[in-house]
Amino acid sequence: MQHMQNLKRIAALTALAGCAVAAPTHAGELSANASVTNNYIWRGLTQTENESAVQGGIDYSADSGFYVGTWVSNVNYGPSDVYSYEHDLYAGYAFEAGGVSWDIGYLYYNYDEEANFDFGEVYATVGIGGFSASAYVLTNTEADEGPGQDFGAGGTYYISADYGFEVGDGIGIGLHVGYHDGDFAEAFNGSDGGYYDYNISLSKGGFGFMFTDTNVSGPAADGGYDNDEYKVVVSYSVDIEL
């Protein structure tokens, strides 16, 4: 179905920005994906202390537009290594109306049991041609609030805008800007207040190359994270029909 193809094309051009959710290429099929990258970047921030990651997932999409999937990656947030893995579960509904594509769903982030920071978000993406805009809003978390913090539903959000296009010979270019804010975002990321992330990515076949940067401050910019410095990310991914 065409709307699924559009979503997949946008996802392929912006995946290096750290979006785990990607609908299968065709409706009514089961598919898998696998990738390796020199740095797992999520919303502009390293999730592996700038080390490499191996990632993969499985997706199913029905003819109706409903889809469900799972995705996993190694992560590392410090010497304790309590966040040794990230395992995502998501379900949603994708459709097209009047030349506009829509994708609405729920995404749950699961980490090592000792982390005690699992959380869920509802999301919505709207796309026209190569343009897309997305919003992710916190719905629930197992993390405990600190003094003066509010981890309630709707209190933390991430919004982004993306544009992807091809320049010939199978080369795709993606442009991305996003903004993350809220008490939970500060606690999870170690940031001082909200921050912007932005990147430009190139893709050809399964290969991806990205320049990414943020204006983040606080612990997220210190130590082995260096999230206030620009990063170069190289990746390779494959899609597998099951």
The pLDDT of residue 19 is: 45
| The pairing of beta strand 195-204 with beta strand 207-214 | antiparallel
- Is the CB of residue 10 less than 8 Å from the CB of residue 4? no
pLDDT of residue 13: 42
Low-confidence residues in the chain, pLDDT < 70: 1-27, 79-83
Domain 2-241 fold: Porin (2.40.160)
pLDDT for the residue numbered 79 = 63
Residue 164 parent element (H or E): strand 157-166
Q: What is the pLDDT of residue 80?
A: 57
Q: What is the DSSP letter of 156?
A: -
Interval 141-175: pLDDT, tens: 999 999 999 999 999 999 999 999 999 899 999 99
Q: Which amino acid is at 168?
A: G
Q: Where are the domains of the chain?
A: 2-241
pLDDT attached to residue 107: 97
Cα 61 to Cα 28, 71, 90, 220: the distances in Å are 5, 15, 12, 36
Give the pLDDT score at 23.
47
